[in-house]
Structure 1
Amino acid sequence: MTRRLPPLYPLRAFEAAARLGSISAAGRELSLTQSAVSHEVKALETYFGTALFRRTRSGLVLTRHGQRVFAVAQSAFADLSGLGWESEGRDVAGTVTIAAPPLFCAHWLLPRLDRVAWANPDVAFRILNVTVDRPELLREVDIAVVWGERMPTGCDGVTLMSATQMPVASPALIAGAGDAEPEELLRQHRILHEGTTDMWRGWCERAGVDLAGTPSEWVFDDPALMIEACTRGHGIALGTLPLIEGLLSEGRLVALFRQALPAPFQYFLTRPDPPPAGRAASIVFDWLKTYARSGKGGPAPNGRT
């Protein structure tokens, strides 16, 4: 029997829109118009005979079938991109300096960096945690990951990933809550903030949640420390996905609301313009871009997982 496969171009457009949470953002990445991306996604929905997205005021939300298609598409694209990755980067040496926010470093970059290190054993890494906006630093490092509203000026780069946010807490903190509603939990427990209280206020406005009357508030200039405090039961934090997916899957954190809302910021992968001359920095930059866009980063070296 001939195997019937989904159409590739609509699948590519759908994967980009699902990953970025936006039809227009997918169009910018793929150099297509918003109308063209919508047409491709519609074609894929026609192929499967069901809706893959729900359009809401907050952005695109995957349906249950859309989630399944997205997971398979990401895995397939990762494996295909990995075919080229296995043959690149051999015999590359040098030190690559990467600056990134601490939450991104701890929960996204470090758990994955061993893949590129395995493929390039002569490449050394220098990792800098950046908790505040330091434009001058972007010109002094090989690669920088920036959390912000827009791409920094004077840099070469791409949108690395969009992010969503939802209130999270440790299981122990809410163990005795019984049937308390999520909004009631927010008013009963301490709220943990990242940098300022603006992020929480903005989320509550978008979600239609009243945060007035919370017992106390703690503010952290280091979001990784904020998440650590949250896992220890010190309060409820606004967790950023996909960075905390591991903590959620491990059961160290639980989500209080079912739906995550688009974050006001995105992660941008940047490098100085013109880029550093070393081939090692170029290899790592391309790898990070491929890893984030595939959702997987290519096959593990020698079949490792």
Structure 2
Amino acid sequence: MPYQRRLLPSTSMMSAFDAAARTGSFTGAARELNLTQGAVSRQVSALENQLDVILFKRIRNTVQLTNAGKIYAGEIHAVLQAMRKASLNAMTDPMIATLNLAILPTFGTRWLMPRFPLFLNENPDITVNFVSKLSPFDFQREDLHAAIHYGLPDWPGTDSSFLMSEKSVPVCSPEFLNQHPLENPGDLVQLPLLHLATRPDAWKNWFQSSGLELRKGQGMLFEQISIIAQAAVGGLGVALLPKFLIQSELDRGELVVIVDKPLQSDAGYHLITPVDKSDYAPIAAFRSWILKMAAQQTGDD
């Protein structure tokens, strides 16, 4: 193989290696790329053969990056991101500005998307691309202009615009409540409680505000609000959830507030932007619009 070609592996090889490096396994990479594990393994092996470099240590059923693999992984990820960005730019009308926005899945589907046509009506010359992110990330490694983040505004190297806080209420299905009638808030201690991984202390804080103590390790754990809400609808227990994100279930009668005692969170929703991109016109337009929408939400609460 000519030397120059040897230094330019195929994108399929690089994508397989990148996914395996990020997920830590060929199985995870196969799931992400919608390939078989064997196909991923063959692509990575072909890449190693082409470069004549061992990128992974194969240890039983696991893989581990070598030192060379760690260095290559960081550089290849940046290359693939740049290629995706270049392709997206080539497909986009140059007269239309682009905003690449990271959103929280449940906040995005339940609060932002129903309102988003209003933004597009006001800003027809801006194209918005969405990516779901559950936790802070490195803006330098991602082709993103801004992110909607829940937590504290402690994201290094960024500017933060506060959107809103949240009030969480204990909810369950009507059938569950009929089977477990409550006489006072303390009765909740005896019921199966559903916990949200992103708000691990929520139930403890709620009970403390009522002068009660929560037993450790009580109840199931869920990663996303949409899933835990469905678990509560299905009668699996009582969930402590932001009221504005489950308003549809409350309106339909699928969930009921079991104790009308909201928990005000110290954390909140923020629009996060890298300092060097804060003045980018599409970000400024989106910031102005979402702050207006958030103010309306706060007024409704």
Distance 1:221 1:164 in 2: 19
In 1, the alpha carbon distance for the partners of 2:209 and 2:140 equals 33
Q: Which amino acid in structure 2 is aligned with residue 280 of structure 1? A: P
Q: For residue 213 of structure 1, report the CA deviation from its aligned partner.
A: 8.4
Gaps of 5+ in 2: 1-94
Alpha-carbon separation, structure 2, partners of 1:278 and 1:224: 32
Q: Distance in 2 between matches of 1:114 and 1:227?
A: 25
Report the alpha carbon displacement of residue 223 of structure 1 after superposing the two structures with TM. 2.7
Whether contact under 8 Å (1:156, 1:274) holds in the other structure is no
Q: Where do 5+ consecutive residues of structure 1 fail to align?
A: 1-91, 298-305
Distance in 2, matches of 1:186 and 1:295, equals 32
The alignment of Structure 1 onto Structure 2 pairs a total of residues equal to: 205
- Per the alignment, residue 44 of structure 2 pairs with none
Q: What do residues 212-267 of structure 1 show as CA deviations (whole Å, max 9, x unaligned)?
A: 388x5211222332222222222211111333334323323211221212113111
1:152/1:197 CA distance change after superposition, 3 Å: closer
Which structure has the larger Rg?
A: 2
In structure 2, the residue matched to 1:265 is 267
Identify the structure with the greater helix proportion: 2
- The residue that corresponds to 2:173 in the other structure is 170
Name the TM-score, length of structure 2 as normaliser. 0.59
- The match for 1:283 among 257, 282, 285 is 285
Structure 2: how far apart are the matches of 1:285 and 1:248? 29
In 2, Cα distance between the equivalents of 1:277 and 1:149? 22
Q: Among the aligned pairs, what percent are the same residue?
A: 23
Alpha-carbon contact 2:153-2:160 (below 8 Å) kept? no
Give the aligned residue type for 2:264.
P
8 Å CA contact 1:138, 1:272 repeated in 2: no
CA distance, structure 1, for counterparts of residue 141 and residue 213 of structure 2:
38
Q: CA distance change for structure 1 residues 277 and 197 in 2, over 3 Å: closer, same or farther?
A: closer
Match for residue 45 of structure 2?
none
1:134 to 130, 137, 154: 137
Superposed, which structure 2 residues align to 1:185-200 within 5 Å? 185-195=188-198, 197-200=200-203
CA contact (8 A) 1:183 1:210 kept: no
In structure 2, what is the equivalent of residue 251 of structure 1? 253
- TM-score in terms of structure 1 length: 0.58
Are positions 1:94 and 2:93 aligned together? no
Correspondences of 1:146-185 after superposition (within 5 Å): 146-185=149-188
**Cα distance, 1:273 vs structure 2:** 0.9
> Structure 2: which amino acid aligns with 1:111?
P
Retained in 2: the 8 A contact 1:192–1:230?
no
Distance 1:184 1:152, change over 3 A: same
| 1:124 counterpart SS class | strand
Greater RCO between the two (CA within 8 Å, min separation 6)?
A: 1
Q: Secondary structure at the match of 1:172?
A: helix
Give me the whole-angstrom Cα distance separating, in 2, the residues matched to 1:247 and 1:280: 34
The answer on 1:201 being equivalent to 2:204 is yes
SS in 2 for 1:95: strand
